[in-house]
């Protein structure tokens, strides 16, 4: 049995099918980890989500910002943007079923036996694994509970930009969500800069890539993430594995076999 972590799909069904063929994925024996952003921007969000749903017994999915945005649109808390590609999803007869399943997906997945932790965007330098997992569980409980609609209604925004244990309610949920699904650059104290989407070498003044802080509290833990296509799969910290290699932008789709850390790639059109 092998475990494969795969980067951002964003509705790119055909490259996913080719990559699964290349790694000889066997749903009877193998497991998939998916770093989120299953849908949006690509050509076939509906069939991509349906395929992942069919494999759900053998797959772990963490939510990405595009997945959460889709939930906000599907539940009427946000209009589609001009670059969104949700049309077929929103018209699908199984929309409610798949949206309900997405609500049950975590923000963070950790496997102590394999020694890997996965989130969509990463873990801020101010949290160790136990703290990150606790914060993820907070928002997951909201996503799966009676405050779900309130969460979606207040999910968008860049503030607050820095963690405080005194944060409560929607502001606390929003910042936790931004850390796990939107983060690229931050300070050592966890202040987020959410506008810049460039490569790691073009950090805005006073900020570093979240994984580049030398005193990161997870610097000895293996972290899998996606979200940051501009990295092209290259991160400067030895303990992090950047799997968003820009498939939807004409790059490649990447899988990491966790047992031996071998990478597999599939070119995308």
- Position 99 scores a pLDDT of 96
- Position 269 scores a pLDDT of 81
Q: How far is CA 214 from CA 110, 125, 143, 188, 237, in A?
A: 22, 9, 33, 9, 9
Q: Tell me: the pLDDT tens digits for 202-259?
A: 999 999 999 999 999 999 999 999 999 999 999 989 999 999 999 999 999 999 999 9
In this prediction, the residues of the chain whose per-residue pLDDT falls under 50 are: none
Q: How far is CA 50 from CA 11, 19, 39, 55, 115, in A?
A: 10, 17, 11, 9, 29
CATH number for 239: 3.60.21.10
- Position 80 scores a pLDDT of 92
- pTM of this prediction exceeds 0.95: yes
Which residue's structure tokens are 């405080």?
A: 164
How many domains are there within the chain? 1
The SS3 call for residue 254 is strand
Alpha-carbon distance of 178 to 40, in angstroms, equals 18
In the sheet that holds 208-209, the strands lie side by side as 192-193, 185-186, 208-209
* DSSP designation for 169: H
- Position 241 scores a pLDDT of 98
Domain that holds residue 176: 3-267
């Amino acid at each position: 049995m092998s475990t494969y972590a795969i980067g951002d799909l964003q509705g790119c069904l055909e490259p996913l099918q080719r990559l699964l063929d290349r790694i000889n994925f066997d749903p009877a024996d193998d497991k998939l980890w998916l770093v989120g952003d299953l849908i949006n921007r690509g050509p076939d969000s509906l069939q991509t989500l349906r395929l992942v749903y069919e494999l759900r017994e053998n797959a772990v999915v963490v939510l990405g910002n595009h997945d959460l945005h889709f939930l906000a649109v599907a539940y009427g808390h946000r209009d589609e943007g001009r670059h969104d590609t949700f049309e077929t999803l929103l018209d699908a007869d199984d929309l409610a079923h798949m949206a309900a399943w997405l609500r049950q997906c975590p923000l963070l997945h950790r496997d102590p036996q394999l020694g890997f932790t996965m989130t969509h965007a990463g873990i801020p330098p101010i949290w160790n694994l136990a703290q990150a997992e606790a914060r993820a569980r907070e928002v997951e409980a909201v996503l799966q509970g009676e405050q779900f609609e309130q969460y979606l209604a207040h999910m968008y925004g860049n503030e607050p930009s820095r963690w405080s244990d005194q944060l409560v309610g929607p502001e606390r949920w929003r910042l936790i969500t931004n850390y796990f699904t939107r983060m690229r650059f931050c300070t050592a104290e966890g202040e987020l800069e959410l506008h810049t989407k460039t490569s790691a070498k073009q950090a805005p003044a006073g900020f570093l890539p979240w994984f580049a802080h030398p005193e990161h509290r997870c610097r000895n833990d293996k972290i899998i993430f996606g979200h940051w296509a501009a990295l092209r799969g290259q991160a400067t910290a030895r303990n992090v594995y950047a799997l968003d290699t820009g498939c939807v932008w004409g790059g490649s789709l990447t899988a990491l076999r966790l047992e031996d850390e071998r990478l597999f790639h599939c070119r995308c059109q």
